[in-house]
Amino acid sequence: MKGYYFITDSGLSAGGTMHDVRCAVMAGVRVVQYREKDAPSGVMYREAHEIAELCAGSATRLIINDRVDIALAVGADGVHIGQDDLPYPVARRLLGPDRIIGVTVHSLDEAIDAERAGADYLGVSPIFATGTKLDAGHPCGVETLAKIRAACRLPLVAIGGIDLENVDEVISAGADMACAISAVVAKSDVPEEILQFQRKFGL
């Protein structure tokens, strides 16, 4: 896992979720995470199914935020869960051994616990203050990211308040991937914005 980590946001998107996902796949992102907090389950299923079709045959893996049931229903590659979602052992039991499970962590202790539990990657969040996730909590900073990098072998995805001006800091602190939602989906040229982040990772 390396490069820009794409998360959908229908509230911020200038062109719509499906347009954004098409752009992300076209730009060669390795991960698309479908995140939709407020839609009914039926809408989520239909949108996730369409995204799964967009990702099929490409190098882009589809991760569903929180919803193990939706991930199973559309044949997604995995899920991303937070500290207040289904516990990792339960998610793993439902998903089986082969699907990806990412876990959001806010501290070194949470990171170590998630790695020991068997997570496939860690989403370290929020690095900086962010307005795209109202329950994100206080920023943990690049210092915490660096501590997690020193202690954990898993791929690290830096999330929260990241843009082209500060992404070099998170890369230097050890992030394998970075997500910058508003810095991409709110812009008119989504593929170009993604490519600028990809270049920061040498891609």
pLDDT of residue 133: 58
Q: How far is CA 93 from CA 87, 103, 117, in A?
A: 10, 15, 12
What integer is the mean pLDDT of 90-107?
A: 98
At 160-175, the pLDDT tens digits run 999 999 999 999 999 9
Beta carbons of 101 and 108 less than 8 angstroms apart: no
Q: Which CATH number fits domain 3-200: 3.40.50.300, 3.40.190.10, 3.10.20.30, 3.20.20.70?
A: 3.20.20.70
Per-residue model confidence as pLDDT tens digits over 12-62: 999 999 999 999 999 999 999 999 988 999 999 999 999 999 999 999 999
Mean pLDDT, range 107-111, rounded to an integer: 98
Domain ranges of the chain: 3-200
- 100, 120 contact by CB (below 8 A): yes
CA distance linking residue 114 with residue 149, whole number of Å: 13
CB-based contact 30:14 (threshold 8 Å): no
Coil, helix or strand at residue 157? strand
Residue 69 pLDDT greater than 80, yes or no: yes
